[in-house]
A = this chain, B = another copy of it.
Amino acid sequence: MIIKNIDQVPLQDVNMEGAKDVKVRVLFGPADNAPTFAMRVFELAPGGHTPFHTHPFEHEAMLLDGDIAVVTEEGDRQLKQGDVILMPPDEKHQFKNLSATEGARFMCLVPIAYQK
C-alpha cells in the first residue's frame, strides 16, 4: 500500500499550449506502478485555466476547493462542493478558475497510458 498526502507530492508546472497558471501533482502514476489509471490534482492560480482542448481519453474529476467552471462547446458549468465530472473522450473542455483572488483545485483521473 502507498499512502501519500496531497500537500507532500511535488507541484509541477503545466506547460501545455493554452494553459495559464496551472500546476499539477501526480498522486499516483507510472512511477507508483498504478495499474489502470492515474490520479492527479490540478491547482489553478486566480484566473488560471487548463487548455480548451480535446483528447481520445476520458477524465473523471472532482472539485476539491475554489470556484471552478467547466467550459465545453455547450457553455460553462460552474461547479459546487461535492460535484464530480465525467468528461468523455473527444469532448472539448477546459477547467477555469473563476476567482480573481483565490486559488482552486480539482482532482482528475485518466487512463494510465496517458499519464507521462
Q: Which residues of A are interface residues toward B (Cβ below 8 A)?
A: 1-7, 27-28, 32-37, 39, 57-58, 60, 62, 70, 72, 74, 77, 79-80, 82-89, 91, 93, 107, 109, 111
Cross-chain contact B1 with A88 (CB below 8 angstroms): yes
Total copies of this chain within the assembly? 2
Determine whether the beta carbon of A3 is less than 8 Å from that of B84: yes
Of the A-B pairs whose beta carbons lie under 8 Å apart in the complex, a sample of 29, sorted by A's number, is A1-B72, A1-B85, A1-B86, A1-B87, A1-B91, A2-B85, A2-B86, A3-B70, A3-B77, A3-B83, A3-B85, A4-B84, A5-B84, A6-B82, A6-B84, A28-B60, A33-B88, A35-B57, A35-B58, A35-B89, A36-B37, A36-B57, A36-B111, A37-B60, A37-B109, A39-B62, A39-B84, A39-B109, A60-B109
